[in-house]
Structure 1
Amino acid sequence: MGQKHAVGGVSFRESVDHMVDHAIDIMGLDDGLREAMKACHSVLQVSFPVEIDGRAEMFTGWRATHSDHRLPVKGGIRYATQVDQDEVEALAALMTYKCAIVDVPFGGSKGGLMLDPKRYTRDQLEAITRRFARELIDKQYLSPAQNVPAPDMGTGPREMGWMVDTYRRLFPNDINYMGCVTGKPVEHGGVRGRNEATGRGVQYALREFFRNEEESDRAGLKGDLSGKRVIVQGLGNVGYHAAYFLSREDHALVTAVIESDGAVINEDGLDIDALSNHKLAHGGVEGFQGGIFEPDGSKVLELDCDILIPAALEGVITTDNAASIKANLIAEAANGPVTFEADAMLQARGVEIIPDAYCNAGGVIVSYFEWIRNLAHIRFGRLEKRFHEARGQHIISGIEMASGAQVPDWIRDELVRGADEFDLVRSGLDDSMRLAFREIMDKRRSNDAIKDYRMAAYVLAIEKIARSYRDIGY
């Protein structure tokens, strides 16, 4: 579905550095701050053996800390065959900027383990994950106070559960052990809404874009999300939830979904749940009866649509296909799906891009909520839920006494229902995405040198980080 580096172009790491350089040039920061901002503070590489089918197999992994101006540092751990140090450092830097953009008080980190998780059984993956966690813990790259991993490509709540249990066994007296990772199963300290968070955040980002008529007009898109034709690349956790919520709640038409084995197209809109179930049952989208199968998924990126959502790997829109992209708006649900050179080509054509550093920040926002919940040792809403239910009932009673009429059941149900953890997490995510987009939008409008959302987001992030560096020292 993608490639890590654009052929003949700059790497993902170089692309991030180019963006930072451009933002710093616009801001006129000194060279010392520039170097401090770009440097990756530390990188851990570990290699360790695990017994697989009766023989020792070696595994190599990394954990990079880009900036610890805020603690703990935060970032996912991915399991993939193409992981390397360059990629991990680039993603760690992106996490620093991402946290700053959405006002999450974390520094940036990222981790990766070089393996194909599909090749191993559940028990083998557990042994590998627990050993990797021990390596990180021993080197102080995993703890609730210093470095807090989360799921990423190839990992999920299961792997995070193994990691938190490994930490608990090593530090049985740490009452905050649950906070050493986020994205855990709800039954083991996770927060409701974390699994959907990144995809839900993409939905909230698009909603906020369309709430601002001047912004949607610039992209040549009128009205709201209803009826907008959307192509989604990647039906993993992020792509599935973004597609599902946009189609079910905002009535957008997901006209195509691209996966590793090809793509499925239906101009009347795909049934995302049915397609996801088919993929889980058959390992791909081929054979799905609700649309036309196209074996060359890369061609589908170039089909006519209003919104393109790349939700897979980095480097899928390059100089090779940027000129053929027909979408008015690209929402980067994946990290780095548009290469540096392709970004310039699309910008010159007037294609608007909601950048990854903001668009897919829903995961780290809700990870922050989960971390806070773990440190507080109480679920959100537990103290106030019944209080708000009683207050709602008093309001209903007052209205009925004053009007002499009965309040309709649907209004009654809404007013007397106290918010639970799911409601509060979604509310906090929505608020964070709204406020961040408005800051990005205002930054773009305030400076003629800032031509696009990506640069506005980077300038915004670097302003916040530079302020912190100046206050506490480099």
Structure 2
Amino acid sequence: MLTQELKKKEQPKQGMLENVMKQFNSASEMVGLNKNIKKILSVTNNELIIHFPVRMDNGDVEIFKGYRVQHNNALGPYKGGLRYHPTIDIDAVKALAMWMTWKTSLAGLPYGGAKGGIQIDPKKYSTAELERITRRFAYALGDNIGPEHDIPAPDVNTNAQTMAWIADTYMSTKTPSERSKNQHVVTGKPIGSGGLEGRDRATGFGVYLTIKYWAEHKNISLKDKTFIVQGFGNVGYWAAHFLEQDGAKLVGVQDAYGSISNAQGITVEELLNYSKANQGSIVGYSGASNIDKADFFGLDCDICVPAALGNQITKENASKIKAFLIAEGANGPTTVEAEKLLLDRGIEIIPDILCNSGGVIGSYFEWLQNRNGELWELDEILIKLDKKLKEAFKKVLQTATARNLDMRSAAYVIAIERIEKAYVQRGIFP
């Protein structure tokens, strides 16, 4: 039932690829992108599909399907997460890899874009099985990943433990003298294994920061503003946590199991504790009422934070949204058709490649920390993240104002122009 529910929640993945291509083509026209560079950026550099066997706890062997798509590396090594999800396919990964290219470029990082994962429902497997699946996938990827070539990170249904298994597997294929130089093959690792303090909250903290910057720009106080969050995983929880600390009130949450609401407010930490004790589900939480999932986006609120999967806000439900701001914690949660309807109604959108870029910025800090043999403290990291994200946000606002664009278009213009400049300066081999 859970798998069926997850499949219902996400639209066909071809729609995600169509979305990112429509966004790219629109921005390309705005900047007058060189036609030859447009050809390069319209396709991925490499697409890897791997079928690999793994022995289960009962002795049976299952065959799994894994993906790694490397979109572009004009600005530096490929960078992007690995997600474990039953609906993942090549088109979804291609779309996500392209979004990563724009995201890292917009943030001013020395990275390109990639994405990957395994077509799997991880809830169906034991921890020991997930470890074997992960290690076998990492081994199959081989030198298609590497600390100066392609650096994976956590994404949907993967975490620090997943990254630790990948790092250990990758390093075990190297000579003893090489192993210490390859710790940064992945980011998002446990702190004891070279991870970054605060990496767990970087994406959600970044979502909160972009909302705060937007509110400051509009001279709006977040105190007593109401918000809803779709997805109560790592990103949704931390975004809600920091918004609540700033005086905002959580009034609705949706996850893969169901939807809840309480106009008087939902205590974020209480909901987190309940979810942990309820196998990750928010359904049945006594501090809120269960509602139909179709009614979630229509809840009365000021701010909507979609932090789950792609294609969640569509032309079918966009008219229900009452929020004045949508902050995209997920990648590609709003379809192109839905965005037009929302903008026409005066609803503003902080686009995914800006809003949730705190995660990849945090990954960059971890990569630097490992590469340089340094250790950074949490306060220092959060200050650095705030500074880096604020720079990107200001550039988007300035471009949006100067060119009379919405925030997504402005973000794309900045990202694409930076990549175009790199190609123009370097030339195209041969």
TM-score of the superposition, structure 1-length normalised?
A: 0.86
Contact 1:3–1:314 (CA under 8 A) maintained in structure 2 = no
1:129 aligns with 2:134: yes
Paired with 2:77 and 2:419, the residues of 1 have a C-alpha distance of 15
Instruction: Please give the per-residue CA displacement for 1:392-413, whole angstroms capped at 9, x wherever unaligned.
Output: xxxxxxxxxxxxxxxxxxxxxx
2:169 to 144, 150, 166: 166
Paired with 1:261 and 1:116, the residues of 2 have a C-alpha distance of 14
The range that moved more, 199-208 or 64-73, is 64-73
SS of 1:82's equivalent?
A: coil
Structure 1: 5+ residue stretches without partners:
214-221, 381-420
What amino acid is the match of 1:35?
K
Q: Which residue of 1 aligns with 2:330?
A: 334
Shift in Å, 1:142: 1.5
Contact 2:252–2:261 (CA under 8 A) maintained in structure 1 = yes
1:410-449 alignment, distance < 5 Å? 421-448=377-404
Q: Which residue of 2 aligns with 1:31?
A: 35
Instruction: Please give the per-residue CA displacement for 1:182-238, whole angstroms capped at 9, x wherever unaligned.
Output: 00000000010101110000011111111113xxxxxxxx62211111011110000
Shift in Å, 1:261: 2.3
Instruction: Please give the per-residue CA displacement for 1:226-253, whole angstroms capped at 9, x wherever unaligned.
Output: 11110111100000000011102x1100
Contact 1:258–1:297 (CA under 8 A) maintained in structure 2 = yes
What amino acid is the match of 1:5?
Q
2:412 to 438, 442, 458: 458
Structure 2: 5+ residue stretches without partners:
1-5
1:17 to 17, 21, 43: 21
What amino acid is the match of 2:393?
F
Q: Which residue of 1 aligns with 2:158?
A: 155
SS of 1:16's equivalent?
A: helix
2:105 to 100, 110, 122: 100
1:468 aligns with 2:422: yes
Shift in Å, 1:3: 4.0
SS of 1:353's equivalent?
A: strand
Provide the alpha-carbon RMSD of the alignment.
1.3
Contact 1:255–1:267 (CA under 8 A) maintained in structure 2 = yes
Instruction: Please give the per-residue CA displacement for 1:131-185, whole angstroms capped at 9, x wherever unaligned.
Output: 0000112xx2221110100000010000000011111211132222110000000
Contact 1:73–1:108 (CA under 8 A) maintained in structure 2 = yes
Contact 2:75–2:419 (CA under 8 A) maintained in structure 1 = no
Contact 1:260–1:297 (CA under 8 A) maintained in structure 2 = no
Q: Which residue of 1 aligns with 2:368?
A: 372
SS of 1:196's equivalent?
A: helix
Contact 1:233–1:312 (CA under 8 A) maintained in structure 2 = yes
Paired with 1:71 and 1:195, the residues of 2 have a C-alpha distance of 24
SS of 1:201's equivalent?
A: helix
Q: Which residue of 1 aligns with 2:351?
A: 355
Contact 1:4–1:11 (CA under 8 A) maintained in structure 2 = no
Paired with 1:4 and 1:256, the residues of 2 have a C-alpha distance of 19
What amino acid is the match of 1:434?
K
Contact 2:75–2:105 (CA under 8 A) maintained in structure 1 = no
Contact 1:6–1:318 (CA under 8 A) maintained in structure 2 = no
SS of 1:289's equivalent?
A: coil
Report how many aligned residue pairs link the two structures. 418
Paired with 2:91 and 2:50, the residues of 1 have a C-alpha distance of 15
1:365-404 alignment, distance < 5 Å? 365-380=361-376
Q: Which residue of 1 aligns with 2:318?
A: 322
Paired with 2:197 and 2:93, the residues of 1 have a C-alpha distance of 28
SS of 1:293's equivalent?
A: strand
Shift in Å, 1:360: 0.5
SS of 1:457's equivalent?
A: helix
Paired with 1:368 and 1:263, the residues of 2 have a C-alpha distance of 34
SS of 2:20's equivalent?
A: helix
The range that moved more, 250-259 or 26-35, is 26-35
1:200 aligns with 2:187: no
Shift in Å, 1:4: 3.7
4+ residue runs over 6 A deviation: none
What amino acid is the match of 1:164?
A
Shift in Å, 1:288: 1.2
Q: Which residue of 1 aligns with 2:120?
A: 115
1:278 aligns with 2:282: no
Contact 2:80–2:115 (CA under 8 A) maintained in structure 1 = yes
SS of 1:109's equivalent?
A: strand
2:239 to 242, 250, 258: 242
What amino acid is the match of 1:347?
L
Contact 1:230–1:306 (CA under 8 A) maintained in structure 2 = yes
TM-score of the superposition, structure 2-length normalised?
A: 0.95
2:299 to 288, 299, 303: 303
Paired with 2:36 and 2:10, the residues of 1 have a C-alpha distance of 30
1:227 aligns with 2:230: no
Shift in Å, 1:6: 5.9
Q: Which residue of 2 aligns with 1:146?
A: 149
Contact 1:130–1:166 (CA under 8 A) maintained in structure 2 = yes
SS of 1:256's equivalent?
A: strand
Paired with 2:260 and 2:276, the residues of 1 have a C-alpha distance of 15
Q: Which residue of 2 aligns with 1:210?
A: 215
SS of 1:148's equivalent?
A: strand
What amino acid is the match of 2:317?
N
Paired with 2:425 and 2:92, the residues of 1 have a C-alpha distance of 30
Paired with 1:430 and 1:298, the residues of 2 have a C-alpha distance of 35
Q: Which residue of 2 aligns with 1:5?
A: 11
What amino acid is the match of 1:441?
L
Q: Which residue of 2 aligns with 1:179?
A: 184
Shift in Å, 1:292: 1.8
SS of 2:38's equivalent?
A: helix
Paired with 1:292 and 1:334, the residues of 2 have a C-alpha distance of 25
Paired with 1:148 and 1:30, the residues of 2 have a C-alpha distance of 29
